[in-house]
Chains A and B, each alone.
Chain A
Amino acid sequence: MGQDGARSALRRGGIELEGIGKAYGAAWAVRRVDLVLGPGESLALFGPNGAGKTTLLKILATLVTPTRGSGRVAGFDLRTEQEGIRENLALLAHGTHLYEDLTVRENLEFAAAMRRRAAPLEALLTRVGLAEAAGERVRALSSGMKRRLALAKVMLAEPAILLLDEPFTNLDQAAVALLEGYVAEVLDREGSVIMATHDLARGYAACRRAAVLVSGRLIHEAPARVGGLEGLRAAYVAATGEGAG
């Protein structure tokens, strides 16, 4: 799919996965995942370390090619229309994807150039609370400020599909509120959000559905609000056999 085609179908979420699996040699990081997430829906993805959460997000982000299965992300085929997916998707990952020797503004300008977007950078900087640090090199920022800048890069993409991998790490309360507000904004414009996290309470608060991934399999998948946070905790413990955070 060309760039024009990718942009014409823009700004609507939706994820469909059927039997998705990823193996590294003989080891399966993701065994078999079936998932349907509609536009305007959000999913909190819980699971112990090594469960396959990050690999699953990387498959959705086209960073990792699945070994088996098929899927569509934002209406684009996971195997054959990856450019369309990347046009419509943003990932807030473990790594901040920031260049330490560039300034805050230069990092955003670079991201805007690579996304081929004329983004309102000053407004974005103000929104994430980095307007006064715009001329600072990233190396001089605190880890919390770096996470805010990483979030600004995600906002710049205006994604229809938002993937968040442990997004609350190093964020203060104001930044958490900012992130939660942005998640709600993406959902309001019919986007889809998947948030991989160990933090059951925050995942529960931010997303409408919840799933538990164990050893590369989706063990539990239900609306997050059913049974409340305690119900979610009980389901997590039952699925993983470990204490819930």
Chain B
Amino acid sequence: MSAGQVWALARKDLLTEGRSKETLNGLLFFAALVLLIFGFALGPDPARLEQAAAGVLWVAFILTGVLGLMRAFQVERENECLEGLLLYPGDRAALYLGKLVGNVVFMLALEVAVFPCFAFFYNMPIWGALPGLFLTAALGTAGFAAVGTLFAAMTMHLRAREVMFPLLLLPFVVPVLLAAVKGTEAFLRGAGRAEAFPWLTLLGLFDLVFVTVSLFAFEWVVED
């Protein structure tokens, strides 16, 4: 497996996304809308908002993530680019890792932009907790994208992929989602690292397992 190939593929995806900007702008707007709608539904009670905040934040991350990941392999459908990728020499695991790195960086960029909206709509003083929140977001996003990248490749040729992709993906990422919500909640409450640590450890383990399994499964998925 070549690190150069992984980087070239991730860079290509980010460059393509940066050029069109349509997905990034659309998803950012969508995430802000999710936060706003949940904020209205929960009402002005600060205690209630605080209780639901971590869950709502991750609902916004996951929903935008699902849409973003579906897009990740659509670019490879145009001009049969996936076929072109499969013709390059080297381990096909590099293709998976390149796509994964591109997806994680893209999602993290989106999440960094969502945090200020979240702080504003929910009146949350998150600034002191930002390092912990970013760490949780990074670990949760890596696990989510690890499975999502695999399933996006698996469903890219399906006619009903918009339906099948979330149906397949979401049950698999429930453990990641639960651990990420709990870790985020701990940091938002100011409970500190001690309370968040078990959840972060769990997220790290999920990431390791999901990435390893997906690396092996990817070649099988992209076979004819």
Contacts and interface: CB of A to CB of B under 8 A. Distances in A.
Contact of B83 (A3, A63, A137): A63
12 contacts: A3-B90, A62-B86, A64-B224, A65-B224, A86-B90, A91-B87, A97-B81, A97-B87, A99-B16, A100-B79, A102-B15, A116-B2
B90 A99 contact: no
Contacts of B223: 65
Interface of A: 3, 6, 58, 61-65, 83, 86-87, 89-91, 93-102, 106, 110-111, 113-116, 137
Nearest to A91: B87
B4 interface: yes
Nearest to A109: B8
Contact of A113 (B5, B80, B81, B85): B5
Interface size class of B (residues with CB under 8 A): 20 to 34
A95 B84 contact: yes
Given A3-B89, A95-B81, A116-B4, 16 more contacts: A61-B87, A83-B91, A86-B88, A86-B89, A87-B89, A90-B87, A93-B80, A93-B84, A99-B78, A100-B79, A106-B12, A114-B90, A115-B89, A116-B2, A116-B89, A116-B90
Contacts of A6: 89
B1 to A, nearest CB: 10
B83 A113 contact: no
Nearest to B223: A65
Given A63-B224, A64-B224, A83-B90, A97 B79 contact: yes
Contacts of A99: 12, 16, 75, 78-79, 81
Nearest to B19: A101
B9 interface: yes
A101 B7 CA distance: 18
With most chain B CB atoms within 10 A of its CB, the pick from A62, A89, A99, A110 is A99
Contacts of A102: 12, 15-16, 19
Nearest to B94: A114
Interface string B68-101: 0000000100111101111111110000000000
A115 B90 CA distance: 8
A235 to B, nearest CB: 31
B20 interface: yes
B178 to A, nearest CB: 37
B79 A96 contact: yes
Contact of A114 (B9, B19, B78, B91): B9
Nearest to A97: B84
Contacts of B7: 113
A98 B88 contact: no
